[in-house]
Amino acid sequence: MRGLCLYILLLISSMASAARKDSIYINQYVRNSFTQYGVRNALVTVMDDNGRIIDTLRTVPGSGGHDAQIWSLLVPRRAGKFRIRVEHPEYETGEMTVEMANPARLNSYKFPDMLLQRRFEEETIDLDAVTVRATRVKLCYKGDTIEVDARAFKLTEGSMLESLVKNVPG
């Protein structure tokens, strides 16, 4: 019985390794183009060069630093072009065409990072009235001298600081 279990285990492992010989993992990081942080839960569509969809998947946390988000897919081991489309509601849709040449000895193939730009929607806000109040600059530099504007300081009448501020040159 023990020998039979060992034989079945060896048979399954050899079948799995034989199946992997004609397949290769492709993967890619999906990042924000400005912050370089990963874009969480982005929808990735992988297509062949004819536009046929191979698979659709989502980004998952990876180990690339900066909160990396990665996708990975097992595809047949053959040279060819892949079209990658990445969509996310908060970002512009990103597309990339990558040619995988001679993947014969590789275990995996990493595509260049997909950088997505944040989508900005113009929002118009109408204001009824706006009041603008200016403040005086209390201290400023002119060359190597500090100028003090005594009128910018609001002090109560008769305070000890009032006479001190009035005596400051500037």
pLDDT, position 97: 94
pLDDT, position 65: 66
Please check whether residues 31 and 92 belong to one and the same domain: yes
CA–CA dist 137, 144 (Å, integer): 17
pLDDT, position 66: 65
Domain span at residue 167?
Answer: 135-170
Please check whether residues 41 and 72 belong to one and the same domain: yes
Please check whether residues 75 and 142 belong to one and the same domain: no
CB 25 within 8 A of CB 107: yes
Please check whether residues 85 and 147 belong to one and the same domain: no
Residue numbers in the chain where pLDDT is lower than 50: 11, 15, 18
Query: 42 in a domain, yes or no?
Result: yes
pLDDT, position 9: 56
Amino acid identity of residue 99, one-letter, is E
Token reading at 105: 């000895």
CA–CA dist 37, 21 (Å, integer): 34
Please check whether residues 145 and 106 belong to one and the same domain: no
CA–CA dist 74, 72 (Å, integer): 7
CB atoms within 10 A of CB 162: 14
CA–CA dist 106, 98 (Å, integer): 16
pLDDT in tens, 20-68: 578 899 999 999 999 889 999 999 999 998 889 999 999 998 876 667 8
